[in-house]
Structure 1
Amino acid sequence: MHIGIIEDHQLVRDSFKKLLELQADWEVIIEACNVDQAILAVALEQPDVFIVDISLNESQNGLTFLTYLNENFPEIKTIVASMHDYEPYVSNALRLGALGYVSKRSASEELIDSVKSVALGKRYISEDVNFALNTQSSALTILTNRELEALPLLAKGLNAKQIAQQLEIMPKTAHVHKANIYSKLNVTTSFELLKIAIDAGVIKLDELT
């Protein structure tokens, strides 16, 4: 099996390559540290599976490369190996064609299994990523429907009067929703609330720009 890796840390690339090539008939044929290098390399030879890091020290990240492969080489199976094991990173990667998603914290244990699975066209999400996603989702199940409506507005920094106007409720009620949300999610600052909202996919990063 031929494999490509795009990862900006050489030690991680070397570690992945060494691990993968312990498997019989597996060869890493592309090692790239940025999107431009990877695009040039894949134009010359196409691996069966490409392992992609999301966070690269460049203006273009791994999601850019996933988009490129999905549009130009859809036959190449892709796996994201990232420290970002939460939403919206996971859903964005899967939407852009990734069949696998593993956390770098468990990559050494699960990378081989993920490559075997996606090579057969099967989806593979590592156990710790699944756990993180389930934890994020379950945290919001304790909120009422009205509190779920108020959550993204609070996380974006709107005050009670502004929230009341958008939800067509009384400001006093908006204050009650805020107090309940902070208490149920065990947060004390809007920054903590914003992180939960982003991790759970309630707010996307481009909504904050």
Structure 2
Amino acid sequence: MNETSEAQSSRIRRDSSHNTSSDRTRVFVIDDHPAIREALATTINSKVDMRLVGESGSATQALRQMERNAPDVVIVDISLDDAHGLDLVEEIRDRFPSVRIIVFSMYDESVYAERAIRAGASGYIMKSEPTQNVVNAVKAVSEGDVYLSRRMSSRILSKVIRQQDYQLGSATEKLTDREMTVFQKLGEGYSVREIAAQLDLSRKTIETYRRRAKEKLGFETVAELLQYAVQWAYGREEEGSANGQ
């Protein structure tokens, strides 16, 4: 009788352990900075209800690994060497419809948060925020909620209520997602040829997006656009550095 009870208890413990493991939220991290991937991995694995199932510094490698690891939530940096974060968000959404996506970026939420949500993300966090906010975001999106800062949630809600456009205090709001991608990469020092290769588009197409961005932002020449793009990108790098990123 005792042996039977012990066997049953052992089986119950094994079943309980299995259920606990299967109930944990499976998280995958995509970021081209190893230190950030390591910090997120440590934070996620320290939580009893989460576990890291993979990490990658490139979009191409990440998509291959996600086929095998089947994450519940993916944390995506918006600026990768082989893809733009918004393009990657759309591809993940199309290939893995059940996966929830959180964009984790150095870029201010006023520039990219709404774009990220439109692309298919369920949350947006700036890298200047505490790591605990990433945990909060994973919990929120895994339960089907959208995670944004209170400020950004209020702005988006106000836009819906008023049924009219509002300004986010940035001229770049005039740009479409693709124009914004090209503008950002120009500011980061990439050539038209390099951007075309990264986005798998023709050079002529990239030049068209560059021309549209130039016109929408009110510049007469490409040189003026490039100067502004560099200043824009550098300003956000400075913001990230000031916040310890």
TM-score range normalised by the length of the shorter chain: 0.5 to 0.7
Whichever structure has more helix as a proportion of its residues is 2
Structure 1 outlier segments of 4+, above 6 Å: 131-134
RMSD of equivalent CA atoms: 3.3
- Give 1:139 deviation, angstroms: 4.8
Alignment of 1:44-193 (within 5 A): 44-56=68-80, 58-127=81-150, 137=167, 139=169, 155-157=217-219, 191=228
2:94, 2:216 → 1: CA distance? 38
Matched, 1:43 2:67: yes
Equivalent pair of 1:103/1:128 in contact (CA under 8 Å): no
Q: Deviation string for 1:137-194 (max 9, x for gaps)?
A: 4659xxxxxxxxxxx9784136xxxxxxxxxxxxxxxxxxxxxxxxxxxxxxx959x9
- Give 1:17 deviation, angstroms: 0.8
TM-score, normalised on structure 1? 0.62
The counterpart of 1:31, out of the listed 55, 68, 73, is 55
Q: Deviation string for 1:66-87 (max 9, x for gaps)?
A: 1111111110001000011244
Unaligned runs of 5+ in 1: 141-151, 159-189, 196-209
Structure 2 counterpart of 1:24, one-letter code: V
Residue number in structure 1 paired with 2:30: 6
Aligned residues: 152
Q: Deviation string for 1:2-45 (max 9, x for gaps)?
A: 10000000000000111111110311011010101111001112
TM-score, normalised on structure 2? 0.54
Equivalent pair of 1:103/1:126 in contact (CA under 8 Å): no
2:154, 2:128 → 1: CA distance? 13
Identity rate of aligned residues, in percent?
Answer: 27
Q: Deviation string for 1:103-160 (max 9, x for gaps)?
A: 00004131111111000110011347669989x94659xxxxxxxxxxx9784136xx
2:129, 2:154 → 1: CA distance? 12
Structure 1 counterpart of 2:85, one-letter code: G
1:37, 1:90 → 2: CA distance? 25
Unaligned runs of 5+ in 2: 1-24, 159-165, 171-213, 221-226, 233-245
CA 1:109–1:127 in structure 2 vs 1: closer, same or farther (change >3 Å)? farther
The 3-state SS of whatever aligns with 1:5 is strand
1:60, 1:51 → 2: CA distance? 15
